[in-house]
């Protein structure tokens, strides 16, 4: 019923000869990669494959996850810290975490036998730190509450796919060191005593997801969770203040909360001044206020009543000065918001079919740090896209996209590496010419002319991947004739 992923006590990975051979291969591969970027460029630990980095980390840093000798390995200190954090997360996820899904049965004849078998697996891993559990069976949950035995101090994550009573939640929080919890609180049922959610014990929860809850339930959980860092409320009938304690909260997600007025949304958000990420989805919001000094990620999606004025205010750098990532996917009411934030790096405006060319062009003119934009299924037709730092642009299924727009953007975006214009059926013969473009997707551009593809390979020397499926000419010739370093895909296995 579980999958423990602890490394064996004796492994060839720790044999000195094997270690030296693997490390040398890693050095050779990293050196080759550096050579591809130009002579004299030194490699860093980030160039090594993940298993090799793990061994470097083991020998340089050891179990303490600390190392101060950055100069000794010829990398910048911040790079080494980044590698160490990545490796620590990898070790915790793959070596110190036990995952249990109650649908992957062990073959035991009953639920208690299943949990006893789970305990025997856990006893094999005395260094266990994290236990992650997905439960779909109420009867297995009862057996788990009775019999599960974890090493002292194990931090737990529980996700429930059924309604849980207040008494069972109390027992769970009392028995285990729960750090993350996703729960559907049970409401009052016929023939039972009314559920009292007001007396939950104080928890050490860092992440809480409440699904299908009422104001009273939300208030009870939040009052008992003073250390909360991330809160998600999904498909819940909230009307008033759920009682969020904003102190350490850095991430807030409100999905399918359709009963709460804009003013209450604004009050809740405004009280959480330490938020770094805010997600709002499938809510009936039209004109809310979002002004947060530390906010880096703003996602307001599938909110069809969202107005241009509201979006413009949220993107005002005076309101959200730290903003870097924006997602307005499926906000179909947007027409001409002013997307003008100098710090914005990534923008997703997928499935916003009414966005005007002026709004799109203005975004690229005003967002001078924008490196990636997704405009899938947009109404773009004549917008002039110009950006000195843009690296990734997705325009697939933009049915009105013209040759002149594609030609202009390739001339005006010198840093572009990735372009997706698949399913853009109005394209006939744009001029494909770019010095650094590595990937271009042209599948289902059924009206593209063969001569323009010839120009693509002649005038884009950095190409490494091209998709040409379902074009109306012999696409296989380009597989035969193009540079071997470039992969050309001309069909898919559907």
β-sheet bridge partners, residue 407:
none
Contact 299, 281 (CB under 8 A): yes
Q: What is the mean pLDDT of residues 450-478?
A: 93
Q: What mean pLDDT is predicted for residues 480-493?
A: 86
Pairing of strands 97-101, 2-4: antiparallel
Q: How many CA atoms lie within 13 A of 310 on its CB side?
A: 21
- The CA distances from residue 36 to 31, 39, 42, 50, in Å, are 9, 8, 11, 20
Residue-wise pLDDT for 26-75, tens only, equals 445 544 444 444 444 455 656 666 666 666 666 555 444 444 444 444 44
Quote the CA–CA distance of 220 and 111 in Å, as a whole number. Answer: 31
- Cα separation, 302 vs 313, in Å, equals 18
Q: Distance (Å, rounded) from C-alpha 423 to C-alpha 425?
A: 6
Mean pLDDT over 434-451 rounds to: 95
Q: Which CATH superfamily is domain 371-494 in?
A: Ribonuclease Inhibitor (3.80.10.10)
**Residue 287 pLDDT exceeds 90:** yes
Number of Cβ within a 10 Å radius of residue 153: 8
> Which of 123-137, 277-291, 417-431 is the least confident region?
123-137
Note the pLDDT tens digit of each residue in 207-249.
999 999 999 999 999 999 999 999 999 999 888 888 888 788 9
SS3 207: strand
- What gap in Å lies between CA 132 and CA 263, rounded to an integer? 37
Query: In this model, does residue 148 exceed pLDDT 80?
Result: yes
What number of helices (H) and strands (E) belong to the chain?
13, 18
Digit-coded pLDDT (tens) for 181-206: 999 999 865 445 446 788 889 999 99
Q: How far apart are the first and last CA of the chain?
A: 34
SS3 185: strand
Q: Residue 437: pLDDT above 60?
A: yes
The residue ranges of every structural domain in the chain are: 2-94, 371-494
| Structural contact between residues 134 and 102, judged by C-beta atoms closer than 8 angstroms | yes
pLDDT band at 488 (very low <50, low <70, confident <90, very high): very high
Mean pLDDT of 315-323: 97
- What is the percent of the chain with per-residue pLDDT over 90, rounded to a whole number? 65
Q: Is 60 exceeded by the pLDDT of residue 378?
A: yes
| pLDDT (0 to 100) of residue 56 | 64
Give pLDDT, residue 34: 44
* Euclidean distance between CA atoms 241 and 219, whole angstroms: 8
For residue 474, the model assigns a pLDDT of: 87
Rounded mean pLDDT, 384-390: 95
Closest CA to 303 of 273, 337, 270, 271: 337
* CA 459/CA 411 separation, integer angstroms: 12
Most distant CA pair in the chain, distance: 78
The rounded mean pLDDT for the chain is 85
- Confidence (pLDDT) at 226: 92
Query: Going by DSSP bridges, is the β-strand pair 392-394/418-420 parallel, antiparallel, or unpaired?
Result: parallel
Say how far apart CA 438 and CA 266 lie, in whole Å: 43
Question: Phi first, then psi: what are they for 410, rounded to 5°?
Answer: -70, -30
> Is the Cβ–Cβ distance between 147 and 115 less than 8 Å?
yes
């Amino acid at each position: 019923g579980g999958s423990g992923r602890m490394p064996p006590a004796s492994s060839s990975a720790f044999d000195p000869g094997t270690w030296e051979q693997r490390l040398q291969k890693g050095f050779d591969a990293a050196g080759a990669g550096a050579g591809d970027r130009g002579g004299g460029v030194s490699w860093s630990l980030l160039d090594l494959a993940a298993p090799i980095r793990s061994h470097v980390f083991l020998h340089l840093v050891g179990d303490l996850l600390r190392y101060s000798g950055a100069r000794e390995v010829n990398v910048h200190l911040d790079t080494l810290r980044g590698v160490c954090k990545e490796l620590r997360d990898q070790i915790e996820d793959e070596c110190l975490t036990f995952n249990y899904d109650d649908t992957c049965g062990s073959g035991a004849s009953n639920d208690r036998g299943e949990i006893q078998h789970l305990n025997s697996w856990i006893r094999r891993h005395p260094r266990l730190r994290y236990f992650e559990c997905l439960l779909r069976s109420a009867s297995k949950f009862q057996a788990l509450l009775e019999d599960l035995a974890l090493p002292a101090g194990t931090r737990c994550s529980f996700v429930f796919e059924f309604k849980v009573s207040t008494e069972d939640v109390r027992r769970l929080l009392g028995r285990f060191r729960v750090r993350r919890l996703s729960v559907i609180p049970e409401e009052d049922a016929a023939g039972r005593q009314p559920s009292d959610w007001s007396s939950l014990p104080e928890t050490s929860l860092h992440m809480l997801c409440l699904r299908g809850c009422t104001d009273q339930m939300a208030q009870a959980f939040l009052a008992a969770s003073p250390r909360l860092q991330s809160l998600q409320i999904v498909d819940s009938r909230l009307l008033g203040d759920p009682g969020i304690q904003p102190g350490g909260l850095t991430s807030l997600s409100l999905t399918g909360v359709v009963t709460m007025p804009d003013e209450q949304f604004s009050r809740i958000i405004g009280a959480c001044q330490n938020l770094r990420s805010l997600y709002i989805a499938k809510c009936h919001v039209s004109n809310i206020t979002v002004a947060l000094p530390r906010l880096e990620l703003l996602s307001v999606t599938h909110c069809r009543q969202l107005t241009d004025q509201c979006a413009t205010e949220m993107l005002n750098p005076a309101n959200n000065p730290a903003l870097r990532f924006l997602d307005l996917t499926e906000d179909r009411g947007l027409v001409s918001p002013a997307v003008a934030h100098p710090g914005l790096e990534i923008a997703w405006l997928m499935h916003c079919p009414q966005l005007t060319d002026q709004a799109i062009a203005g975004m690229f003119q005003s967002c001078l740090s924008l490196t990636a934009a997704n405009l899938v299924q947009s109404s773009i037709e004549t917008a002039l896209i110009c950006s000195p730092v843009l690296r990734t642009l997705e325009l697939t299924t933009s049915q009105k996209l013209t040759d002149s727009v594609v030609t202009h953007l390739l001339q005006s975006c010198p840093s572009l590496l990735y372009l997706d214009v698949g399913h853009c059926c109005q394209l006939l013969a744009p001029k494909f010419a770019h010095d650094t473009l590595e990937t271009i997707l042209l599948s289902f551009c059924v009206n593209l002319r063969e001569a323009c593809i010839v120009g693509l390979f002649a005038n884009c020397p950095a190409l490494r991947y091209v998709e040409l499926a379902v074009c109306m000419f012999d696409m296989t010739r380009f597989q035969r004739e193009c540079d071997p370093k470039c992969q050309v895909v001309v069909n898919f296995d559907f």
